[in-house]
A and B are shown apart, each in its own frame.
Chain A
Amino acid sequence: MRDWTHGGLARGLLAATALIFLVAGLGLVAALFLGAWRFLGEPSALSNLFGDFWDPLRNRYGVLPFIVGSVVVTLGALVMAVPLALGVAVTLAEQRTAGMKDFAVRALTVLTAVPSVIFGWWGLQMVVPWVRARVGGPGFSLLAAGIVLALMVLPTFSLFFFQSLERVPQSLREGSAALGATPDQTLWRVAFRAAMPGLTNGLLVGVARALGETMAVQMVIGGQTALPSSLTSPGATLTTQIITDMTVFPPGTRGHAVLDIMALLLMLGMYVLVRLAERWGSVS
């Protein structure tokens, strides 16, 4: 086979694709900034923006309830999914037979590809009634959204965690065992620490998926625009509110500018997370 990456035409094509990607990415951010500027340029835009009351038809654009919603739902999903995923990853990593590992990895990979609307539908059928019956409130809630998200990111987390544990060299495990460590001690004190960059990386991918997830969350969170008062009260996240109000604010309107700001906030949040993960993920 010819090394076609070195042909002139092929190289041109590759460069063009890279350029398109770059322009599209930067263009998106630029478009969001331009859209957002219309609102950000106004006097007292920030105090309006970080208020807790959302009633855009009366020019009240407080996005605080959605920021709270996004953070609470994502954190809730992490609290539920991370320990479970670590359990799955450890169980798999301890498996001695390669066939079992292969099967589990394949199954998990398939699960990560399940469309989110399926999780949303399942949440509507199972989680919402369960929360209503067992925990209280109307069922549509931050809690329900957190549970649905937790199940959604569980395969992603498990896969990443498992793979980073697998990459811990056998020599480190042996070194630990030779010093008198029990398998548990080796796991907690060496394997997890050595796998930390991979673990944080997986965590980040999962958080990104949770934070950005819209459809599954929208179906169970209730879409309430007031500041949520508890885990069982309905709420909204930045993404679900964007999809709810997108059609009422055509581009160019003030409301659309606020939706642009919400999208920028999401990107900013992800950027901060990536930077944090880079710091935590590096080995001391």
Chain B
Amino acid sequence: MPPEIRVEGLSVWYDRHHALKQVSLEVAPGEVLALIGPSGCGKSTFLRTLNRLLEEGGRARISGRVFLGDADIYDAAADIPDLRRRVGMVFQAPNPFPFSIFDNVAYGPRLQGVTDRQALRRIVERSLQQAALWDEVRGKLRRSALTLSGGQQQRLCIARALAVEPEVLLMDEPTASLDPMSTTKIEELVAALRGRYTIVMVTHNLRQAARISDRTAFFAEGTLIEVGPTRQMFTAPLDPRTEQYLTGRYES
């Protein structure tokens, strides 16, 4: 059973800019939460606080608490590599390493010290099957990942994230750079992964959010405006700003 995520009073500043203001939110185990909102509203920033990737840039200041299960991931004693193993991430543009397909998927397990070839092969096959890529690349695992199409590369990145057996999957507009066919494949994949992983996904595509998420959170200007079951959000939003956004009349 994947863990729940509980965010309490989370704020983020970039230098002077207050990018995220006192966000509190819960994600239930195994559900798919969609984050929507206009550009620059803080939803990507929020996503990156959940695996502490925001700190890689070195400019952000963060306050508040984020619990993964029982543990506060911002605790001074928190183990960041272990956190990121438990919380996988898929980025907006496919970012496969310039290695072979096999080495891409095996990257995470190897970081954890798995060296046995048989074990690695099993992990790679299982992950590629989970990411619905196996049938397209079997027998070609030695080829460079860069020879794959954009959609295949994104599924490879999902397989790469799944290979370390995470509990949570963060997806930052995973279909933004893909064609409709590939987008459909990714959406089917997310549907198949629901329940096994707690999934938080940023999307600009409202229909996509409506199609695949259990609940939806609407962000605007760094504030969480509203969060609730997707069906209810899209039919009867509580906040007028949400309605304005959903009907295309919102102006930030």
Q: A and B: direct contact (Cβ < 8 Å)?
A: yes
Residues of A within 8 A of B (CB): 96, 169, 171-182, 185, 189-190, 193-194, 283-284
9 cross-chain pairs, A with B, having the tightest CB-CB distances, nearest first:
A178-B89, A171-B95, A180-B85, A180-B84, A180-B81, A179-B108, A175-B95, A283-B98, A194-B98
Give Cα distance in the complex from A175 to B160, angstroms.
Answer: 10
What A residues does B91 contact at CB under 8 A?
171, 174-175, 178
A166 CA / B101 CA spacing, docked (Å): 24
Contacts of A180 in B (CB 8 A): 81-85, 108, 111-112, 164
Chain B residues whose CB sits within 8 angstroms of the CB of A194 once the complex forms: 97-98
User: Which residues of A are found within 8 Å of B245, using beta-carbon distances?
Assistant: none
B93 CB–A CB distance under 8 Å: yes
Query: Could you tell me if A284 and B144 are in contact, using CB atoms closer than 8 angstroms?
Result: yes
Q: A175-B157, A179-B108, A283-B146 given as contacts; is B85 within 8 A of A193 (CB)?
A: no
In the complex, the answer to whether B84 meets A174 with C-beta atoms within 8 Å is no
- A-B contacts besides A174-B56, A283-B98, 6 pairs, CB < 8 Å: A178-B53, A179-B108, A180-B108, A185-B111, A284-B99, A284-B100
> What are the residues of chain A within 8 A of B82 when measuring CB–CB?
180
* A178 nearest CB neighbor, chain B only: B89
A174, B53: Cβ atoms under 8 Å? Answer: yes
Q: How far is the CA of A174 from the CA of B134 in the complex (A)?
A: 25
* Residue B199, interface by CB 8 Å: no
Q: Measured between alpha carbons, how far is A173 from B58 in the docked complex, in Å?
A: 14
Find residues 56-107 in chain B having any chain A CB closer than 8 Å to their own CB: 56, 58, 81-85, 88-89, 91, 93, 95-100, 107
Q: Report the nearest A residue to B143, measured CB to CB.
A: A284
A-B contact pairs, 17 of them (CB 8 A): A175-B95, A178-B51, A178-B84, A178-B88, A179-B111, A179-B160, A180-B81, A180-B82, A180-B111, A181-B81, A182-B81, A185-B111, A189-B110, A189-B111, A193-B98, A193-B99, A194-B98
In the assembled complex, the Cα of A174 lies from the Cα of B53 at a distance in Å of: 8
Query: Shortest Cβ distance from A5 into chain B, in angstroms?
Result: 34
Cα distance A171–B58 when bound, in Å?
A: 15
Selected from A179, A189, A284, the residue in CB contact (under 8 A) with B88 is A179
User: Who on chain A is nearest to B170 by CB?
Assistant: A178
Residues on the A chain within 8 Å of B96, using CB: 175
Q: Which residues of B contact A284 (CB under 8 A)?
A: 99-100, 142, 144
Contacts A174-B53, A283-B144, A284-B144; is A179 near B95 (CB within 8 Å)?
no
A179 lies within 8 A of B85 (CB) = yes
- In the assembled complex, the CB of B124 is this many whole angstroms from the nearest CB of chain A, namely 14
- Which residues of chain B are within 8 angstroms of A181 by Cβ–Cβ distance? 81, 111
Interface residues of B in 206-250 (CB under 8 A from A): none
**Shortest distance from the beta carbon of B173 to any chain A beta carbon, whole Å:** 13
Q: Provide the bound-state CA to CA distance between A176 and B88, in Å.
A: 11
Chain B residues, CB < 8 A from A177 = 53, 56, 84
User: B55's closest neighbor in chain A, by CB?
Assistant: A177
- Answer yes or no: B161 CB below 8 A from chain A CBs: yes
A38 and B96 alpha carbons, distance in the complex (Å): 57
Kindly state the separation between the CA atoms of A172 and B161 in the bound complex, as whole angstroms.
13
Closest A residue by C-beta to B84: A180
Give the residue name and chain of the A residue nearest to B83 (CB).
A180
**Most-contacted residue by chain B among A174, A178, A182 (CB, 10 A):** A178
Q: Hey, which chain A residues are within 8 Å of B98, CB to CB?
A: 172, 193-194, 283
Contacting B58 at CB < 8 Å: which of A96, A176, A283?
A: A96
Question: How far is B51's CA from A174's CA once the two chains are assembled, in angstroms?
Answer: 11
